[in-house]
Amino acid sequence: MEMNILITQEAKKELDKLLTTSDKKCIRIITRCITMTSDAKLDFELDEPKDSDNLYDVDGYKVIIDKALDSQMNHITISYGGLLSRNQFCVEADFCFYY
């Protein structure tokens, strides 16, 4: 199944700022567990690809996702700002729980 990744215009502007000041050239989608009781939350960090990653080119941005995590998702949106996440990034995905 092909991964569908959307990066909003606002997020692209902010990513450009991050990428110009970093020696890392790829955007790694990761999960972070905030607390023991809350669900894992998607986030990203700048990184370099590994053998265990899938690499996607999204409008010229290199997005990497660990293959195990990648297999659980089918649509990712990276956005910036908005009502719920002012001045911060938000990474959302549809998880495929239908095997």
pLDDT-derived band at 72, boundaries 50, 70, 90: confident
SS3 track for the chain: CCCEEEECHHHHHHHHHHHHCCCCCEEEEEEEECCCCCCEEEEEEEECCCCCEEEEEECCEEEEEEHHHHCCEEEEEEEECCCCCCCCEEEEEEECCCC
Rounded Cα gap, residues 28 and 66, in angstroms: 8
Are the C-beta atoms of residues 1 and 59 closer than 8 Å to each other?
Answer: no
Structural domains counted in the chain: 1
Phi and psi angles of residue 73, each rounded to the nearest 5 degrees, phi first: -125, 155
Q: Tokens standing for 85?
A: 């996440």
Q: Tokens standing for 20?
A: 């110009």
Give the pLDDT score at 54. Answer: 96
Q: Tell me the CATH number at 80.
A: 2.60.300.12
pLDDT at 83 over 70: yes
Q: What is the domain range of residue 47?
A: 4-95
pLDDT per position as a tens digit, 3-43: 899 999 999 999 999 999 999 999 999 988 766 666 668 89
